[in-house]
Chains A and B, each alone.
Chain A
Amino acid sequence: MYFDSFGDLLQMGKHGFYVWTAYGATGLVLLISWLSARGAFVKTAQRLQQQAELAQRGDQSAQHRGDHT
């Protein structure tokens, strides 16, 4: 490692604040991008699944009624 201690790594000479702000912002942006993209995908998949289940149940109850008559 380039730095002697973990404290040095945090401090980065005098530039710790700037370096960590930039990396923090980057991490945040990438994380939010990932979470929102993933969230949208999961939400869509769940909605499709619910629709499929509803349709299936509709089919079954229709069949059920069919047996009665």
Chain B
Amino acid sequence: MLSASLKRLWHKLGSPRWFFALTESWVKVAGWSALVLLVWGTIWGLGFAPADYQQGNSFRIMYVHVPAAMLAQSLYIGMGVAGFIGLVWRMKLTDVAISACLPLGMVITALALFSGSVWGRPTWGSWWEWDGRTVSTLVLFFLYVGIYALREAIADQELRARASALIAMVGTINIPIIKYSVEWWNTLHQPASFGLTQKPAMPSEMWLPLLVMVLGFYAFAGFIVLVRMRTEILNRELGARWVRDWVQVRSER
């Protein structure tokens, strides 16, 4: 009984039409919570959190850098999971998800690298350090670029979906291996620096704004991915009856 209804839900989830209807309200929730959380976290982090005793005010960059770095990785893993589901269950929707995560993931990874570089200047004294986390994020960026190039090269929608699902999956399996090996490499070639977030017990007035910002970034990503997915669904289902109905309802409003 339960498994039957779960199975039905699973099939429904794969249906673009059902997904489109379901996410109509989700978009608004995600968008507004992203706005509130990001504004709240930014004001808190910039204006009210105390300065770091060692790094001074430059540590406030953490409130945008750390969420960006986390999100960069999550979006790639999200593509890998979507790819896995798409390959195993032949779901159309997963490629829509990959196409939505890819551009956002790329710019967020670039942002993580940029903000890390800007943070590194006052902290490490140089714009670029070959630190373990930096290298991992850089490799992550190349993984994104690879999928992007692959998608650009394949014209057929079905084959593009399968190829990028496969590569996203392989990349995701390799992410932990890459991370551990880069970490190991870093312990051998430790640059003269101190870890950025390895503070012994950050006080709550410092990490609470970070929590708000992390939640804000994830809500924002959810919002963007949903909007992009809905756009892509409309584009792919152009002629479908439900799309025409939706257009009519929308124009009457």
Contact = CB atoms under 8 A, between A and B. Distances in A.
Interface in A1-34: 1-3, 9, 12-16, 18-19, 21-23, 25-26, 29-30, 32-34
Contacts of A34: 223-224
Contacts of B60: 12, 19
B157 to A, nearest CB: 16
Interface size class, chain B:
35 or more
A44 B60 CA distance: 39
Contacts of A45: 234, 247, 250
A19 B208 CA distance: 19
Interface in A45-63: 45, 48-49, 52
Q: Of A18, A32, A49, which is in contact with the most chain B CB atoms at under 10 Å from its CB?
A: A18
A18 B101 CA distance: 29
Nearest to A6: B47
A1 B61 CA distance: 18
A12 B227 CA distance: 37
Contacts of B238: 48
Contact of A23 (B64, B220, B235, B248): B64
Interface stretch (B1-9, B80-88, B116-124, B130-138): B116-124
Nearest to A37: B227
A19 B115 contact: no
Given A29-B108, A29-B111, A49 B250 contact: yes
B91 interface: no
Q: Of B57, B220, B250, which is in contact with the most chain A CB atoms at under 10 Å from its CB?
A: B57
6 contacts: A18-B58, A29-B110, A32-B107, A37-B228, A44-B231, A52-B247
Interface of B: 38, 42, 46-51, 56-58, 60-61, 64-65, 68, 103-104, 107-108, 110-111, 114-115, 118-119, 121-122, 220, 223-224, 227-228, 230-231, 234-235, 238, 243-244, 247-248, 250-251
Interface of A: 1-3, 9, 12-16, 18-19, 21-23, 25-26, 29-30, 32-34, 36-38, 40-41, 44-45, 48-49, 52
Given A18-B121, A48-B234, 7 more contacts: A12-B58, A19-B57, A21-B118, A33-B224, A48-B243, A49-B247, A52-B248
